[in-house]
Amino acid sequence: MNIPLNVDWQQILLHWMNLAILIAGLYFLLYKPVKQFMQKREEYYQSREQQAASKLEEAEKIKARYQAQLDGAEEELRLARQKSQQAVQQSAEEQIAQAQAQARQIVEQARIQAEHSRERAVKESQRELKKLVTEAAEKIALHTGEDPFDQFLTLAEGGKTHVDR
């Protein structure tokens, strides 16, 4: 059969064989290895991206945890400050109370000492008065002939004679 344009089925089959060899060869030698490498690189960068995302997420979690801890620490600090303030106030009150008690005790002791001193002074003055009286009485009795009572009065009035008598 004479086909127009000299189309030759045998040559078409030879072209097909040639194309089949070419397609298979290029697929195994070039297309597949290059594509595999491109996929490998894509997977590598995807894994890197996932790693970075997971690390970022982890960092966010750590940040949140530390933030919570920081918030807790602030609350704790506030409570500790409040507690210490209370302790200081209590301590100050105790010290004031103690100081007041000490002051009372000191005042009491001072009062007692003063009482003792007064009593001692009174006793001393009484003793001296007795002594003076005794001395005066002795002087009157032993050295003058005046009435002892007048002498006493004279002595008491600082040596002046009693004019009323």
Q: Name all contacts of 57-61 with Cβ < 8 Å and 24+ positions apart.
A: none
Using CB under 8 A, pick the residue from 1, 2, 6, 164 that binds other proteins. Answer: 6
Question: Are residues 136 and 151 in contact, defined by beta-carbon separation less than 8 angstroms?
Answer: yes
Kindly tell me which of 52 and 96 has the beta carbon lying closer to other proteins: 52
Tokens, residue 55: 């690390």
Report which of 24, 48, 93 is spatially closest to residue 101, judged by C-alpha positions: 93
The mark string for 30-69 relative to other proteins (x by CB under 8 A, - otherwise) is xxxxxx-xx--x--xx------------------------
Q: If you search the block for the tokens 């009286």, which residue do you land on? A: 133
Pull the structure tokens for residue 26.
Answer: 């290029």
Q: Which of 1, 21, 130, 145 binds other proteins (CB under 8 A)?
A: 21
8 binds other proteins, rule: CB under 8 A? yes
Q: What CA–CA distance (Å, rounded) separates 142 from 131? A: 16
Q: Total number of residues binding other proteins (CB under 8 A)? A: 30
Instruction: Name the residue nearer to other proteins (CB basis): 35 or 131.
Output: 35
Measured in degrees and rounded to the nearest 5, phi and psi for residue 162 equal: -85, 115
- The site for other proteins (CB under 8 A) is made up of 5-8, 10-12, 14-16, 18-19, 21-23, 25-27, 29-35, 37-38, 41, 44-45
